[in-house]
Structure 1
Amino acid sequence: MDYLAIRKRLDELIAVRGEDYASLSRLIGRNPTYVQQFVKRGVPRRLSEDDRRKLATHFGISERLLGGPEERGGHGHSVVHRSDAAARTTDYVLIPTLDIGASAGSGAVADGENPIATLAFQSNWVRGIASGRPEALSVIRVEGDSMLPTLADGDQILVDTDDRERLRDGIYVLRTDDALLVKRLSVNPATRRLSIRSDNDAYPSWDDCDPATVAVIGRVVWVGRRLT
């Protein structure tokens, strides 16, 4: 039995559901550090039957996924629960798609930030591409053509709002008044002043900007688009 995989699966369940170790420990009647010790240090090596049952019930998954025995049907076939399909989504992070646009033009008004959908990204991929917390990621749409050919109108961009302090060359979402812009930033290594540019030469750019005057929302780390 792969005990490391079980601990990793439980840790991902906790992260995706927004749970914490102490609360889950209390849920199963243990001391506040019990679940953390199990996940991080492998102590105890395996969950007790009672603890496993309580945690599986709480997360709505099969006990098999937390180290329980393989369940069998009447003809010797494995029983696959509908909740197992949901459990497999713990390998993924659900990122909200917000009902706002970042203009690659004159400026899109940010009049609402309501999730209209979610996109599933593989957890390991998210950890590799994002600077920190998956909770700091969101998907918004590009509006306009000032960032052509890099970004097109209607593209979906993944924005990391944790990655806005350590500015470096790249594409960022900026806020100006009540509008959002998506632009390419470059940093002068000597003065640390910013250049704000459009990839489409038909649109204006701004050089030698004071970073203190630029409201950076986050760095664009991925783009997806529909092929026509």
Structure 2
Amino acid sequence: MSTLINNLKAHMARHELNARELAKRADVKPSFIYDILSGKSANPSSIKLARVAQALRVNLADLVQPSEANGADGGGAANHNAIHLPYLTVAGKGAQRHVATKFTYTPPFAFNATWLQGVMTTEAQYLRILHIEEDSMHPTLHPNDHVIVDVSRNTPSPPGIFALFDGHGIIIKRLEYTIEDINGRQDRLVQIRSDNPHYTSYEKAASELDIIGRIVWVGRNLH
């Protein structure tokens, strides 16, 4: 039996909920819960699963990680006040692109729940961790920094630093709306800039951008 099935059953039993009651609380169809419990759904929607976790008053990681690693069995006081944020990954292309949650290969980041809820204005289910690998946003962001991406905020108003999907992978850029008059009509454009002066700025129509979310926090090692 999979980790997800075991953890889901344990948390349902703790709250004395059956599949239909949980589905109603999480605003998902009962078949979504039944398919997970029966093993029919091996890769359920991370968005719907986040709703299920919220209905059970646990973190998403508490459902998909082994219980001894995240305290799903009720033990482990060190993890009791922790919120686990998964790494950001993107699956698919074009219209089929969706933000996925990667738990399989990389363990989630654990943050103190009181601190995270105090500094973030968004619920934890919309936050993802992203590892910075290139220098286009230096000196603001450094290679090997870790940032938190708020995937619920994907419009550049106000201006800020965002994660985008360029058709090949995730890039980080500073975005700001601009207005230009083209052929007698106004088209809303977005200026796309790198903080590193070695990279060229450019503009694109807002409708052509695939914005994943806004960068809201950065952490790095001090050497």
CA contact (8 A) 1:97 1:115 kept: no
Look up the match of 2:111. 121
Look up the match of 2:198. 202
Residues 61-111 of structure 1: CA deviation (Å, up to 9, x unaligned): 4xxxxxxxxxxxxxxxxxxxxx3xx234232201123579xxxxxxxxxxx
**Matched letter for residue 95 of structure 1:** L
Look up the match of 2:132. 142
Scaled by the length of structure 2, the TM-score of the pair is 0.55
Matches within 5 A, 1:144-163: 144-163=134-153
Look up the match of 1:217. 212
CA contact (8 A) 2:83 2:110 kept: yes
CA contact (8 A) 1:158 1:223 kept: yes
Scaled by the length of structure 1, the TM-score of the pair is 0.54
> Partners in 2 of 1:60 and 1:176 — Cα distance?
41
Q: Which has the larger radius of gyration?
A: 1
Instruction: Give the secondary-structure state (helix, strand or coil) at the position aligned to 2:132.
Output: strand
C-alpha displacement of 1:143: 1.7
Unaligned runs of 5+ in 2: 1-6, 26-70, 91-100, 181-186
RMSD of aligned Cα (Å): 3.7
**Matched letter for residue 195 of structure 2:** D
**Matched letter for residue 97 of structure 1:** Y
Look up the match of 2:162. 172
Matches within 5 A, 1:186-197: 186-188=176-178, 192-197=188-193
User: How much identity, in percent, do the aligned residues show?
Assistant: 28
Structure 1 residues 215 and 87: alpha-carbon distance in aligned structure 2, compared to 1, 3 A threshold: same
C-alpha displacement of 1:133: 3.1
C-alpha displacement of 1:60: 3.8
C-alpha displacement of 1:205: 0.7
**Matched letter for residue 203 of structure 1:** Y
